[in-house]
Amino acid sequence: METIRLTVAQAIVRFLCQQYTQRDGQERRLFAGMFGIFGHGNVTGLGQALDEGGHDLRYYRAQNEQAMVHTAVAYAKMKNRLQTFACTSSVGPGATNMVTGAAGATINRLPVLLLPGDIFASRLPHPVLQQLEHPSSQDVSVNDCFRPVSRYWDRINRPEQLLSSLPEAMRVLTDQAETGAVTIALPEDVQTEAYDFPSSFFTKRVYAIPRNLPGSDELNAAATLLMSAKRPLIIAGGGVIYSEASAALAAFAEAFGIPVCESQAGKGALPWDHAWNAGPVGANGGLAANRLAAQADVIVAVGTRLGDFVTASHSAFQADDVRFIALNVTSTDAFKFGALPLVGDARAGLTAVSDALAALGRQPEPSYAEEVQSLVVEWNQAVDLQRRVQRPEALTQANVIGLVNEFSRPGDVVVCAAGGLPGDLLKLWRACEPKGYHVEYGYSCMGYEIAGGLGVKMADPEREVYIMVGDGSYLMMHTEILTALQEHLKITIVLLDNNGFQCIRGLQMDAGAPAFGNELRYRDEHSGRLEGPFIPIDFAKNAESLGATTYTATNETELRAALKRAAGESGTTLIYVPVDSEARVPGYESWWDVPVAEVSTKQGVQAARDAYVRAREKQRYYYASEEP
């Protein structure tokens, strides 16, 4: 057997360069490169290997390990899970900084390969710098924290273990149902140890990404159920976009007269003005979709994990005998709510159900079509109203969303993740195409915005990337502005400053408590509480110090002008926009389950509890086991 003597780290680099995916005849490198931050736990291992053999695996230096995972994951999302990055970190804090990013990847079902450094397998110098010693086991390190947030986890204690571990890691990364964070912990001594690897280990490997079909019995049952449906409704999730199933979805909706509503991850699956797009559904949904959902008799959930925002915490669907059909690559999702499970690819599945339904002769029902249309007209007017609302003090968040949306072109991307913005964007942003709306709302991780926006730009440099970020998220993590500078990549950041964590302050007050601890205020010396004046921050100066061009916009004219100038810039821009912290976009006949204290001495809390208990009466347990 022909062998080649390499260190573990050298073997990993060489192996990663040879991994490809292929779908619909198109082949792509699985790894676009490797992100990293070096320390003693990886610089002489993977660092050395990247120098010696990494010309084919570009190295990107990030500012923060959590951020680099967000960047990698955003890239993978833009690439429909067919390409991603590897991320290398040092041992200890560098490694655990990636845990949050890993959880975000796994929740969103997006692939990323994490290679944290680990403590010496030999144990000879223990405890090594940054080692957490476990009192009852020497077989535990902080990297065990990755186990519950990873879809595959391994630790390489002997070089030859790579031969079995890496292929498994690739299988999971490329499996559309299983994918998420994959973690391979690499003890720092083992990274540098050599082994005679079989040369065949480093030959090119192409992973075919199949378009699996659901079982034919289930497909027929789904068609039969849909034949009898008077008020069917499709929920489009991220799976529609990852599967590139937009055309199949549009054809399905049109052929049978079934409205489509959207989740955060599915927004853009159909253009906002498609005749059958009823807009967003659920807790942050709009009028049209929420009214349709309340009365729907058959829900067709495609590529969605039916999170609580989509289902309005199980209160969105109120028809007595509402049934679910769930088409998903992941069986966990296909079986939720007692659904008729269609385990398979969204595009292949939609086409197959469509064929079965056409054979049964389903026709669109004109009266339902009319009802959908008039609801959509009403909803579009509500959106216009919010976007144009006038407040004397400052622009509202809704105004800013409207203005950025109007200014951006169809191929541009809006990026967001946490705070009040995602909900308002879901309601008010008009997405033109599947890749134009990128909101991470699986983990809704503050700090994803700028790091993720960078990944979006890396995935498609032709697009303008508009990152909309709240002041709280910005303060949590913004230093990847520097990485954008380093890589000569342009991102446009629109920072909406409302003096703190206003969406959480809103939740707090809705639960009957006085507002405290969410705004950015000095501690008052007399009361001892955080109720002094607001702490002024010069966000523009902050971004400028990292190399961004900055503008401040306090009204519509200034914001339009700033957007225009930002579009003309070649580098990163931050537009600072103070917004009215009291202006809120309302909810539209929906609810989100956030618990309220059962006992309290405060009347406000007692009243909120009563309202909460009443609201919870709409919460349903969906489980239908009998056949249609």
Ligand X SMILES: Cc1ncc(C[n+]2csc(CCOP(=O)(O)OP(=O)(O)O)c2C)c(N)n1
Residue among 412 and 440 whose Cβ is closer to ligand X: 440
Please state the closest distance from residue 77 (CB atom) to ligand X, in A: 18
Q: How far apart are CA 247 and CA 505, in angstroms?
A: 41
Residue among 79 and 427 whose Cβ is closer to ligand X: 427
Cβ neighbours around 485 below 10 Å, total: 16
Give the pair of three-digit tokens for residue 114: 């994490």
Please state the closest distance from residue 245 (CB atom) to ligand X, in A: 29
Nearest CA-CA partner of 274 in 238, 247, 243: 247
262 binds, among ligand X, Mg ion, none (CB under 5 to 8 A by kind): none
Residue among 108 and 498 whose Cβ is closer to ligand X: 498
Select the span of 33-41, 108-116, 467-475, 476-484 touching Mg ion (CB under 5 A): 467-475
Q: How far apart are CA 417 and CA 421, in angstroms?
A: 8
Residue among 66 and 304 whose Cβ is closer to ligand X: 66
Residue among 243 and 499 whose Cβ is closer to ligand X: 499
Positive or negative: CA dihedral 171, 172, 178, 180:
negative
Residue carrying the six token digits 């809390």? 605
In the shown chain, the binding pattern of residues 506 to 545 toward Mg ion, with x for contact by CB under 5 A and - for none, equals: ----------------------------------------
Q: Does 472 bind Mg ion (CB under 5 A)?
A: yes
Give the pair of three-digit tokens for residue 224: 């039969």
Please state the closest distance from residue 539 (CB atom) to ligand X, in A: 11
Residue carrying the six token digits 């490198």? 29
214 binds, among Mg ion, ligand X, none (CB under 5 to 8 A by kind): none
Please state the closest distance from residue 311 (CB atom) to Mg ion, in A: 27
Residue among 517 and 628 whose Cβ is closer to ligand X: 517
CA atoms within 13 A of residue 405's CA, in its CB half-sphere: 22
Helix or strand or coil: residue 146?
helix
Residue among 182 and 428 whose Cβ is closer to Mg ion: 428
444 binds, among Mg ion, ligand X, none (CB under 5 to 8 A by kind): ligand X
Please state the closest distance from residue 569 (CB atom) to ligand X, in A: 24
Please state the closest distance from residue 608 (CB atom) to Mg ion, in A: 23
- Mutual angle of helices 216-227 and 346-360, in 10-degree steps: 50
Site for Mg ion in 478-507 (CB under 5 A): 498, 502
Residue among 65 and 471 whose Cβ is closer to Mg ion: 471
CA atoms within 13 A of residue 391's CA, in its CB half-sphere: 19
Q: Does 471 bind Mg ion (CB under 5 A)?
A: yes
Q: Which positions lie near ligand X, rule CB under 6 A?
A: 418-421, 444-447, 470-473, 498, 500-504
How long, in residues, is the chain?
Answer: 628
For residue 118, which phi and psi values (nearest 5 degrees)? -135, 170
446 binds, among ligand X, Mg ion, none (CB under 5 to 8 A by kind): ligand X
Give the pair of three-digit tokens for residue 157: 């204690």
504 binds, among ligand X, Mg ion, none (CB under 5 to 8 A by kind): ligand X
> Which residue is at the shortest CB distance from Mg ion?
470
Residue among 65 and 189 whose Cβ is closer to ligand X: 65
Residue among 412 and 471 whose Cβ is closer to Mg ion: 471
Q: How far apart are CA 423 and CA 186, in angstroms?
A: 40
Q: Does 397 bind Mg ion (CB under 5 A)?
A: no
130 binds, among ligand X, Mg ion, none (CB under 5 to 8 A by kind): none
Q: How far apart are CA 450 and CA 471, in angstroms?
A: 12
Contact between 78 and 53 (Cβ < 8 Å): no
Please state the closest distance from residue 443 (CB atom) to ligand X, in A: 8
Nearest CA-CA partner of 35 in 82, 76, 6, 7: 76
Please state the closest distance from residue 477 (CB atom) to ligand X, in A: 8
In this structure, what DSSP letter does residue 215 have?
Answer: P
Q: Which secondary structure element, helix H or strand E, spans residue 456, and what is its range?
A: helix 448-459
369: left (phi over 0), alpha (psi -120 to 50) or beta: alpha
Helix or strand or coil: residue 161?
helix
Interface residues with Mg ion (CB under 5 A)? 470-472, 498, 502
